[in-house]
Amino acid sequence: MYQADIAIVGAGMVGLALARALKEVQLSVVLIDTTPITKPLSEQPELRVSAINAANKQKLESLGVWQHLAQERLSAYTQMQVWDQDSFGRIQFTCEEMGTTELGHIVENQSLVNALHSQVSEQQNVQLLPATRITKVLAGQSESMLMLDNDEVVSCRLLVGADGANSAIRQYANFPLTFKDYGHTAIVATIKTSKPHGKVARQVFTPEGPLALLPLSDANLCSIVWSQNSQHADALLSLSNSDFAKALQVAIEGDVGEISVESARMHFPLTMRYARQWLSDGLVIIGDAAHTIHPLAGQGANLGLQDAFALAESLQTLAAEHAAFYQARQLRAFERARKSEAVKMIAAMESFKQLFGGSHPLKKLIRGVGMCTADAIPAIKQRFITQAMGW
């Protein structure tokens, strides 16, 4: 039997970040995942990447994680350009305006998982159980028992669900869920451009949905996230690589020159999920288990990491006070604060999707005037970019 104060289910970025943030807390942790957790990076850039904001970078540095990322695969972006297709609306953000050397970093998800794992695996208070499935959960107010597929048992006082959008822990807890099908499919791939990306993160809003080009460490490679209404996405996925590249060039209005597709194309449906309850006695959910949002602003990973760091801070305070850290009433302030941030982000993404969707002339005029006005007023731009950087 494994005995621990906390059992974290899910060893992705969020679950590992929580375990790492608990490195100096007098609490024992068991981290369980159905996969082997780490794997060598592929020769070509991984398809799943995240735009990690400055606030989370700073936190990961303080935890000794950022320094262990594969530095040759890390890509800082120094500008952000956003515009409306076939319209005059455009806004640009630069690191000079913020007095910083970069606005954020594009990080391959697996690279961050590997870096987190390398540090968590050295912690004395963490035991890793990779490639392990939970077959049954017996939860109580002060202790839970997890039955594993290898006939072992984990006993814990707090069970944390960091196991993704289809969280088994959330389903077990029967937390009510609000969800909405965005009607969009996201297509991700790695592309090569004839013009260097110049460390610029680009996003263009088309009538069928947004297209983001995220600069990678190679000056001519970008990761794309092309979120389109599902019917249009199906048509794009049916194209050959060369025709798909031509469609990309048209959508991005030739901003990066000629394009070639350098990887497979992955796609997945986009759904908003929001758990209306995040905790009960002995159980809490974070990250995608608690919320998923449209990727148009690239904030999903940042939101999840902030959940992990906020929960770790609450647990550290409670442990230092010898309080019952596993009781719902002790974690209620954490739940209120993080639910508020999640709701604000979900509402913002819905507003952006509604405003920038379609090609109605009046909506295009409103978008154009709004973007140009924001671009011309430093105070408005400062607010936007400060939020994007996580400050």
- pLDDT tens for residues 351-362? 655 555 655 665
pLDDT tens digits along 177-222: 998 998 899 999 999 999 999 999 999 988 888 899 999 999 999 9
Which H helix or E strand runs over 62?
helix 54-62
pLDDT at 367: 58
User: Residues 332-348, buried b or exposed e (16+ Cβ, 10 A)?
Assistant: eebbeebbeebeebbeb
Report whether pLDDT(105) > 80: yes
pLDDT tens digits along 123-155: 999 999 999 999 999 987 789 999 999 999 999
pLDDT tens digits along 154-175: 999 999 999 999 999 999 999 9
pLDDT at 297: 65
Contact indicator for 125, 3 with CB cutoff of 8 Å: no
pLDDT band at 391 (very low <50, low <70, confident <90, very high): low
pLDDT band at 48 (very low <50, low <70, confident <90, very high): very high
Phi, psi of 329 (to 5 degrees): -65, -25
Indicate the residue type of 145.
M
- Per the model's pLDDT, the better-predicted residue between 238 and 346 turns out to be 238
pLDDT tens digits along 245-267: 999 999 998 889 999 999 999 99
Relative to beta strand 283-285, strand 158-161 is: parallel
Phi, psi of 377 (to 5 degrees): -110, 110
Q: Domains (ranges, CATH) in the chain?
A: 2-38+109-178+271-350 (3.50.50.60)
Phi, psi of 237 (to 5 degrees): -70, -25
pLDDT at 385: 59
**Rounded (10°) angle between helices 13-21 and 300-320:** 30
Global confidence as pTM? 0.92
Report whether pLDDT(373) > 90: no
- Per the model's pLDDT, the better-predicted residue between 10 and 142 turns out to be 10
User: Residues 274-306, buried b or exposed e (16+ Cβ, 10 A)?
Assistant: bbebbbbbbbbbbbbbbbbbbbbbbbbbbbbbb
pLDDT at 295: 81
pLDDT tens digits along 49-98: 999 999 999 999 999 999 999 999 999 999 998 887 766 667 788 888 77
- pLDDT, mean over the chain: 90
* Residue 335 CA: distances (Å) to CA of 37, 286, 293, 366: 27, 9, 18, 36
